[in-house]
Amino acid sequence: MPTITLPPHLKASLAAGHPWVYRDHVPPSVRLDSGTWVRAQCGSWTGYGLWDTRSPIAIRLFSSYAQPDALWVRERVELAWKGRAALRETATTAYRLLFGEGDGLPGITVDLYNDYAVLATYADSVDVLVPLVVEALRAVVPGLRGVVRRRRADAEDEVETGKIEALWGTLPPRDLVVEEHGLRLIANLYEGQKTGLFLDHRENRRTVEQWSSGRRVLNCFSYTGAFSLYAARGGALSTTSVDIAAAAAEDAAENFRLNGLAGDQHTFLARDCFDYLSRVIQRGEQFDLVILDPPSFARSKKNIHAATRAYVKLNALALRCVARDGMLATASCTSQLSPEAFRAMLGEAAASANLRLALIHEAGHALDHPVPAHFLEGRYLKFALGRVLEVA
């Protein structure tokens, strides 16, 4: 097994459990194929990981003791399964079973949708572990009917983006319906975003439900309307769901029908959200709760300035659509935007709208998305709920 010597200043971070070694920290002379197991040496610290030829992350680290084998992978899957036991008691059949680094398997996620596991990889190097993960899933998850793989939108090979293939068992039905906290949701595992649903917002949707009673709710970037659905169950007077994709708007309407919540007070629009918010302002229309859950605006650090400006513009528009004593629920999944920068952006957006935003709740991703304490890069999702106030 090749040994790669790392700079001494990385030792504290690696010993604390950081699972990545960036390319600029490895000798430029290293020439290995993706998926090669390597021994990383940093002073007295040793780690075992997979080499990647294309990613900015040259080594994803898995263990400090030995090269992982089938038994090691199965143990990680078993721990993850046991760790989600409480979630399975909440009328929820769709959740993240494996969250990469947080469950000891960097670069790999597995989401469960009823009896189907959807596996996604973030790097070429971890492909060597896929058969072992499939084997472990078959052994650990009772009643499993199929394991499928879907290439993510941020996968390195964009030609393969969105494709789904059966790794074991049968393919899931196209009309798959799952449960989340007792609500029924369409999970499009073929054409939908992420692996089918945005599972990372589960607890944030519950938060919105708790603050929706008697409110007129506007949900921008609504996708299949999950935030709107929770708001409706929470007693919202009305919901307006806006997403640029017509198919998403159709699925959102169907989700309301599935849950017996359809009615004229709930509308679903296929519109550009920036344009829609501008038109709401022009009409003088207002809502009691505005929800923003936009896609990531930056794929790398070099795009973060432009992304921040876009977030400021979006949140300023939304704030101007909030009625007196109303609320804003807003999120960012841009990993390069830190929680501190996210809060600063919200303050700038409020000032731009000549308003004040008093944050009453901040959160991140759902409870099935664990993150190592020393792995700041893993905390990609920011969510905030705040009261919108006039300038005194």
Task: Calculate the CA dihedral of residues 152, 153, 155, 161 and round it to 10 degrees.
Answer: 80
Which residues is 330 bridged to in the sheet? 292, 384
CB 90 within 8 A of CB 181: yes
Enzyme catalytic residues: 333
How many CB atoms are closer than 10 A to CB 356? 16
DSSP states along 137-188? HHHHSTT--EEEEE--TT-S-GGGTT-EEEEEEPPPPTT-EEEETTEEEE--
Which residues is 117 bridged to in the sheet? 112, 147
Kind of pairing, strands 238-243 and 266-270? Answer: parallel
Look up tokens 């709710």; give the residue.
217
DSSP states along 33-67? -TT-EEEEEETTEEEEEEE-SSSSEEEEEEESSS-
The residues near 1 (Cβ < 8 Å, ≥ 6 apart) are 37, 38, 39, 48, 67
Q: How far apart are the first and last CA of the chain?
A: 66
Dist CA 47 CA 55 (whole Å):
19
How many CB atoms are closer than 10 A to CB 141? 18
Q: What element of type H or E holds 256? A: helix 246-258
Residue among 44, 184, 19, 220 at smallest CA distance from 101: 19
Dist CA 9 CA 255 (whole Å):
52
Using CA atoms, how far residue 322 sits from 171, 210, 221, 261, 350, in Å, is 44, 18, 17, 24, 12
**Cα 133 vs. chain centroid, distance in angstroms?**
21
E-state strands within 236-297: 238-243, 266-270, 287-292
